């Protein structure tokens, strides 16, 4: 009877699944920006996506999307990485946080300010 219970337990046991395993359960992780390049998305879309290689402080090497328009971070800049990359870019599962550490914020941004850390424009 005990062997039957063990077999049932093995079948129903789920593996731990994470969308962003390099972060190890943390919402954001600091890393060093090592290389920036441009890649193209999957089939129905056509554009140039800004992507960069990042070495995290826990030793993992990942590719992260650089959101928004503007300058790319320089080499060896300290950046903040979060989960959720870009859906149509293969192999990119992370994105940088703009306006944190040495990654420049988006200037003259009026919509979705909270995501990029842009200040509230004066209403006059």
The predicted structure's pLDDT at residue 47: 87
Report if residue 6 sits inside a domain.
no
The whole-number average pLDDT for the span 36-44 is 89
Report if residue 25 sits inside a domain.
yes
What is the percent of the chain where pLDDT is above 90? 17
The predicted structure's pLDDT at residue 84: 83
Report if residue 5 sits inside a domain.
no
Number of domains in the chain: 1
Report if residue 61 sits inside a domain.
yes
CATH number at residue 37: 2.40.50.140
Global pTM value: 0.72
Report if residue 64 sits inside a domain.
yes
Q: Are strands 49-56 and 61-65 parallel, antiparallel or unpaired?
A: antiparallel
Domain around 39: 20-102
Average pLDDT over all residues of the chain: 81
Report if residue 110 sits inside a domain.
no
Report if residue 98 sits inside a domain.
yes
Tens of pLDDT, residues 63-121: 998 887 777 788 888 988 988 877 888 889 898 888 788 777 777 767 776 666 666 77
Report if residue 124 sits inside a domain.
no
Residues 6 or more apart in contact with residue 112 via CB below 8 angstroms: none
Q: Which one, of 80, 66, 85, 68, lies nearest residue 21 by Cα?
A: 85
């Amino acid at each position: 009877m005990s062997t039957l219970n063990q077999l049932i337990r093995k079948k129903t046991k789920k593996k731990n699944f994470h969308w962003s395993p390099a972060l190890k359960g943390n919402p954001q992780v600091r890393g060093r920006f090592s290389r920036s390049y441009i890649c193209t998305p999957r089939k129905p879309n056509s554009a140039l996506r800004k992507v960069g290689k990042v070495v995290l402080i826990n030793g993992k090497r990942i590719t992260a999307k650089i959101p928004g328009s503007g300058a790319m971070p320089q080499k060896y800049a300290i950046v903040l990485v979060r989960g959720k990359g870009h859906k149509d870019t293969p192999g990119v599962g992370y994105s940088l946080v703009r306006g944190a550490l040495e990654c420049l914020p988006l200037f003259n941004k009026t919509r979705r300010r909270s995501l990029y850390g842009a200040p509230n424009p004066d209403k006059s």
